[in-house]
Amino acid sequence: QKEVEQNSGPLSVPEGAIASLNCTYSDRGSQSFFWYRQYSGKSPELIMSIYSNGDKEDGRFTAQLNKASQYVSLLIRDSQPSDSATYLCAVRGSGGSNYKLTFGKGTLLTVNP
Amino acid sequence: EAQVTQNPRYLITVTGKKLTVTCSQNMNHEYMSWYRQDPGLGLRQIYYSMNVEVTDKGDVPEGYKVSRKEKRNFPLILESPSPNQTSLYFCASSADRSVVDTQYFGPGTRLTVL
């Protein structure tokens, strides 16, 4: 079974700092990677997707992908208390599993005012 | 408004009493999926459907059934619930299997089996 691992957390950062969230995956053929945000008691929502090696920036969020190392990360710059949530890394399967998303267990981020 | 709805949102039941959690989407999506979320285990896929009358098992299908008779509806059936099925359940949909990454999630159903 394909696996997606995230740093267990919880991660606590002060307001204005950079939060760094990490994820590794086992399916070497995977080509699509995603970060979902889930507020407590709510459903997950997609915030970033990345398909190519390197960085992808969207506002305060930067996703980084290194397929050779099977590693994905999410950086949140100028962290705000409203960023406090659980962040889920998701990886789309390859080959016959390309219709599936496998999620990591999530990392709880707390941004302290 | 484009959305995925689930009912009920909260349910407390007893072991062995059959129940159905409904899921409906109004976006004409082909792909629908059920997940369960447990502390320390993350989101795990139970069943998915790529279109009407096409369903298949996810990673944790034991104890669950699904059906897809209409495109908009994808109910989750627990024929004989057990306490280990106490969990938070999410239904999700996406336009089709090629865009499964852009999944829209329902609000969740919190199920407690006593």
| Percent with pLDDT over 70 in chain B | 95
Compare CB distances from B42 to A98, A100, A105 and report the shortest one's residue.
A105
Reported as a single tens digit per residue, the pLDDT across A55-81 is 999 999 999 999 999 999 999 999 999
pLDDT in tens, A1-52: 678 999 878 999 999 999 999 999 998 988 889 999 999 989 999 999 999 9
Task: Supply the pLDDT for residue B102.
Answer: 77
Search chain A and give the residue with CA nearest B105.
A43
State yes or no: pLDDT of A96 exceeds 90.
no
Does the pLDDT of residue A97 top 80, yes or no?
A: no
- Are residues A103 and B41, on separate chains, in Cβ contact within 8 Å? no
Residues of chain A with C-beta less than 8 angstroms from the C-beta of B6: none
- For the cut 80, the answer to whether the pLDDT of residue B96 exceeds it is no
Nearest CB neighbour to B100, from listed A88, A100, A104:
A100
Q: Which residues of B touch A102 (CB under 8 A)?
A: 45
Between strands B76-78 and B19-25, the pairing is: antiparallel
- Predicted pLDDT at B101: 62
Chain B hits for A105, CB-CB cut-off 8 Å, are: 40-42
CB contact under 8 A, A42 and B108: yes
| Distances in whole angstroms, Cα of residue B27 to Cα of each of A86, B5, B31, B103 | 27, 11, 11, 12
Instruction: Read off the pLDDT band of B93 (50, 70, 90).
Output: very high
pLDDT tens, residue by residue, B28-42: 999 999 999 998 888
How many CA atoms within 13 Å lie on the side-chain side of B36? 21
Arithmetic mean of pLDDT, B90-104: 78
Among B48, B102, B108, the residue with its CB nearest the CB of A43 is B108
pLDDT at B113 over 90: yes
Residues A85-104, mean pLDDT to the nearest whole number: 86
For the stretch B33-83, pLDDT in tens is: 999 999 888 899 999 998 999 999 988 999 999 999 999 999 999 999 999
Taking every pair of C-alpha atoms in chain A, what is the biggest distance, in angstroms? 46
Residues of chain A positioned with their CB less than 8 A from the CB of B41:
105
Q: Give me B48's structure tokens.
A: 């998915």
More confident residue, A38 or B1: A38
- Residue in chain A closest to B30 (alpha carbons) equals A99
Q: pLDDT of A9-23, one tens digit each?
A: 899 999 999 999 999
**Spatial separation of the C-alpha atoms in residues B53 and B51, rounded to whole Å:** 6
The whole-angstrom separation of Cα A52 and Cα A38 is 24
